[in-house]
Amino acid sequence: MTKSETWLWARLKGRQIKWKFRRQHGIGSYVVDFFCPNLQLAVEVDGISHDRKERALSDKRRDKYLSTLGIKVLRFTSEEILRELDRVVENIYQECERITTAQEHRSPFVGGEVVPYTPTQPILGSAVPWKHSRSRLAGSRQSSLPLTVGSTPFLG
């Protein structure tokens, strides 16, 4: 590891910023400098070699591949890390918070979007989507009520 990678790793390891990061983590045919599996976040440290045109194109291909896997890539130069380590760590922390907030508000059922349920939406052509039939429960304290859709019992 380079000096800048060592400095950054010293701040990321052991959940110091709340999330677990791995060092030199393989993804497909690539190895990312640091990776947070829970957030699908990769952190790359770009040294002097990344300034060359061919290396920049390779980095772009790699970032595109990782993004197709749903992995977000943050890039910092070695110089940034050595001169402004606290700011770099703060940027990583803020991105982790942003991703965590987005994950908490994403529904796994409809393409990741939150779709609120409105009980007044018609189901099977009925104006009232559901109603409980209480006639069988007279005097009973049952917790599960039979469900009817319109006037038809739902036998689910």
Instruction: Give the homologous superfamily in CATH for domain 3-104.
Output: VSR Endonuclease (3.40.960.10)
Give me the pLDDT at residue 100, please: 93
- pLDDT for 108 equals 56
What confidence score (pLDDT) does residue 132 get?
Answer: 46
pLDDT at residue 125 greater than cutoff 90: no
Average pLDDT, the chain: 78
Q: Report yes or no: 128 and 119 within 8 Å, Cβ to Cβ.
A: no
* DSSP-H helix ranges across the chain: 3-12, 53-68, 78-83, 85-104
Task: Select the more confidently predicted residue: 27 or 50.
Answer: 27
Q: Mean pLDDT over residues 83-98, rounded?
A: 96
- CATH 3.40.960.10 residue ranges for the chain: 3-104
> Is residue 48 scored above 50 in pLDDT?
yes
Buried b (16+ CB within 10 A) or exposed e, 112-144: eeeeeeeeeeeeeeeeeeeeeeeeeeeeeeeee
CA angle at 27 for the pair 100 and 15, rounded to the nearest 5°: 40
pLDDT at 77 over 60: yes
